[in-house]
């Protein structure tokens, strides 16, 4: 009995040493192959606690960061060592500017923004150079009249994976319908197509989400519908507005008798298809959920 225990202990010790050696080896290999250097920028004492910021991207050899505090807007330009090169104040923006988005390219960027004047919302675009300075005068893309207390963040900007197509759309709810207005642009922000559609909407059962544009300029999104007022959805559709067309195409996804939750849509531009992922379950009362993946050829 003692011999067996001793033999077991020797095997256990040998195995422990082997596992420990593997861990140490992996650690040092990781250090050699994934060596990283962290560089911190200096503290900007003008930045306040309520600061909002967005990393626009790297243009030429600089890194551009957009910063916003209340109605003050600026772009901080950093070099490769994270040292501040310049701060550009965006004084041309109206006072009530919000909902700012950027589409960045190697040498320039487009800034899409929204501002409100009385009960009119304006959607604008301006081209910036690699230092965050204005290259063109702002151009109006669209405008919408809204009730005084209505939600004013109705415009959304998305870009295709290759950034050759840019879509600016708005969803404006009125009664039991959504007005969907789309504006498709090329990489130089020249308008390709404009469209307006009406979508039925039951706020207790319907969810429109996953708004995307593919490299061909086709605008897609999903609609989920619940069977009742609670639980997951039991109906799912892919809605597509093809480039230069004026009619929406509804493609129902077969869920059998399953319920779904947390649907995510991705575009596989390389293989010309749309990918769906979601949790699903058989009954509303179920807690444990499985995972499913579906795709549709474009």
CB count in 10 Å sphere of residue 80: 10
CA 239 – CA 253 distance, rounded (Å): 11
Q: Calculate the dihedral angle through the C-alpha atoms of 103, 106, 107, 108, rounding to the nearest 10 degrees.
A: 0
The pLDDT of residue 51 is 86
The pLDDT of residue 15 is 44
Edge-to-edge strands, sheet with 97-104: 97-104, 108-117, 120-129, 139-145
The pLDDT of residue 77 is 97
The pLDDT of residue 286 is 63
CA 72 – CA 93 distance, rounded (Å): 9
Residues of the chain short of pLDDT 70, as ranges, are 1-49, 229-231, 284-292
Give kind and range of the element (H or E) at residue 7: helix 2-33
- Nearest alpha-carbon partner for 89 in 107, 115, 71: 71
Tokens of 255: 């869920």
The pLDDT of residue 257 is 83
- Nearest alpha-carbon partner for 227 in 217, 216, 236, 239: 236
| Domain boundaries along the sequence of the chain | 38-153, 158-298
User: Which pLDDT tens digit goes with each residue over 73-125?
Assistant: 999 999 998 899 999 999 999 988 999 999 999 999 999 999 999 999 999 99
The pLDDT of residue 274 is 95
DSSP 107: S
The pLDDT of residue 12 is 40
Fold designation for 158-298? Lipocalin (2.40.128)
């Amino acid at each position: 009995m003692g011999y067996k225990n001793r033999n077991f202990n020797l095997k256990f010790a040998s195995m422990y040493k082997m596992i420990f050696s593997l861990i140490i080896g992996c650690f040092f290999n990781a250090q050699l192959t994934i060596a990283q250097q962290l560089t911190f920028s200096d503290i900007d004492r003008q930045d306040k606690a309520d600061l909002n910021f967005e990393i626009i991207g790297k243009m030429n050899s600089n890194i551009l960061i957009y910063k916003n505090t209340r109605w003050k807007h600026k772009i901080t330009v950093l070099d490769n060592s994270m040292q501040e090169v310049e701060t550009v104040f965006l004084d041309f923006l109206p006072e009530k500017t919000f909902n700012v988005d950027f589409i960045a390219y190697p040498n320039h960027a487009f800034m899409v923004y929204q501002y409100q004047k009385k009960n009119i919302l304006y959607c604008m675009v301006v081209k910036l150079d690699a230092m965050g300075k204005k290259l063109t005068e702002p151009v109006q893309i669209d405008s919408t009249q809204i009730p005084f207390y209505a939600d004013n963040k109705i415009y959304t900007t998305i870009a295709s994976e290759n950034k050759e197509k840019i879509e600016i759309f708005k969803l404006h709810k009125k009664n039991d319908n959504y007005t969907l207005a789309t504006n498709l642009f090329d990489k130089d922000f020249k308008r390709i197509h404009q469209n307006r559609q009406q979508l039925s909407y039951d706020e207790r059962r319907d969810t429109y989400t996953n708004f995307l544009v593919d490299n061909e300029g086709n605008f897609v999104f999903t609609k989920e519908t619940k069977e009742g007022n609670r639980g997951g959805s039991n109906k799912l559709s892919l809605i597509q507005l093809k480039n230069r067309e004026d009619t929406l195409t509804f493609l129902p996804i077969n869920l059998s008798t399953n319920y779904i939750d947390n649907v995510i849509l991705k575009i596989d531009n390389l293989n010309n298809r749309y990918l769906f992922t979601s949790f699903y379950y058989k009954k509303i009362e179920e807690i444990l959920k499985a995972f499913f993946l579906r795709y549709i050829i474009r």
